[in-house]
């Protein structure tokens, strides 16, 4: 990749986009392009076309999305479907208009069927029903994969899709109502520790198993894929190991220093029983993760204390 070519990172202030921006800067890219949502609303088709026409990026990384945890997805499916469809369709149509030669679309592991064989291979896509608590978001991301494949087939542009597992790290969303499980646990245990609460209540049974990837590892994988991967099939990005939600809660409690009791609120949904990605395709390209989960959680907790508490 040309270090002096213009690279547009959509969503560059979010969890994923900010990590990709940092990684590209560290690699020596000199023409990084970003715009906040107040400067450019990607749901606005005319504004998105004008922005791409002005900057004509050689590379687009689509890290822009409406995201949220299990309750946010369950309670607001209309917004998760509509906003994400508009963001990615507008961005990809505008990139096609200026014939952007290289585009990376970032999806999510929720695109796969609820009961997919574990670990989940890329070929599991569209082989079964989705998890109903986030099916609207998943459908939007599946549509993005299809658009990448359609552009490759019709116009021959070297666009690719990557499907990350559950992510965490600096610039995450720690809101108790809309965050994903790991940042939600960090905030909950921190507040319990600060207030000497005798108990922390976990949503659901604690038995579902999840895989967690530090966002800096994802950013490193994205650069590796832009340099090494060129195929229509989406490629999984993860660590190849998972942990139960109960075990994760115990890890977070240990990092925070909380010593109270843990209980479960069984009225809250569990979601998919297990979601572990098969990352053999990515490993075969010569990439592997470098951030240990406990070290990554500790670093993320330090960031949270410095920036939120």
Q: How far apart are CA 216 and CA 205, in angstroms?
A: 30
Token pair recorded at residue 134? 């986030």
In the three-class reduction of DSSP (H, G, I as helix; E, B as strand; rest coil), residue 33 is classed as: strand
Query: Out of 8, 137, 168, 229, which one is annotated catalytic?
Result: 137
Closest listed residue to residue 168, CA positions, set 69, 21, 34, 61: 69
Instruction: Tell me which residue has tokens 């907790």.
Output: 301
Cβ density class 22-42: b for 16+ within 10 Å, e for less: bbbeeeebebbbbbeeeebeb
Calculate the dihedral angle through the C-alpha atoms of 269, 271, 274, 275, rounding to the nearest 10 degrees. Answer: -140
The question of whether 115 is a catalytic residue gets the answer no
Active-site residue list: 137
């Amino acid at each position: 990749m040309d270090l002096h070519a213009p690279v547009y990172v959509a969503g560059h202030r979010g969890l994923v986009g900010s990590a990709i921006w940092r990684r590209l800067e560290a690699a020596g890219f000199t023409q990084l392009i970003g715009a906040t949502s107040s400067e450019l609303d990607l749901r606005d088709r005319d504004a998105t076309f004008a922005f791409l026409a002005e900057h004509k990026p050689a590379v687009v990384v689509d890290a822009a999305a409406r995201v949220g945890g299990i309750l946010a997805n369950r309670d607001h499916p209309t917004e998760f479907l509509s906003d994400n469809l508009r963001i990615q369709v507008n961005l990809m149509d505008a990139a096609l208009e200026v014939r952007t030669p290289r585009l990376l679309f970032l999806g999510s592991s929720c695109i796969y069927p609820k009961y997919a064989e574990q670990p989940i291979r890329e070929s599991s896509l569209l082989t079964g029903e989705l998890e109903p608590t986030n099916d609207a978001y998943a459908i939007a991301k599946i549509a993005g994969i299809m658009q990448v494949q359609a552009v490759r087939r019709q116009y021959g542009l070297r666009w690719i899709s990557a499907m990350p597992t559950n992510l965490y790290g600096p610039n995450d969303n720690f809101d108790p109502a809309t965050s994903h499980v790991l940042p939600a646990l960090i905030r909950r245990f921190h507040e319990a520790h600060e207030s000497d609460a005798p108990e922390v209540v976990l949503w659901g049974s604690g038995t579902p198993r999840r895989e967690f990837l530090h966002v800096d590892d994802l950013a490193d994988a994205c650069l590796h894929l832009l340099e090494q991967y060129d195929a229509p099939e989406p490629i999984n990005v993860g660590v190849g190991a998972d942990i139960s939600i109960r075990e994760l809660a115990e890890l977070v409690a240990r990092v925070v220093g909380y010593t109270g009791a843990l209980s479960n609120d069984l009225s809250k949904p569990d979601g998919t029983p297990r979601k572990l990605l098969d990352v053999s395709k990515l490993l075969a390209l010569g990439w592997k993760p470098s951030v240990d989960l406990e070290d990554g959680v500790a670093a993320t907790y330090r960031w949270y204390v410095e920036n939120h508490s």
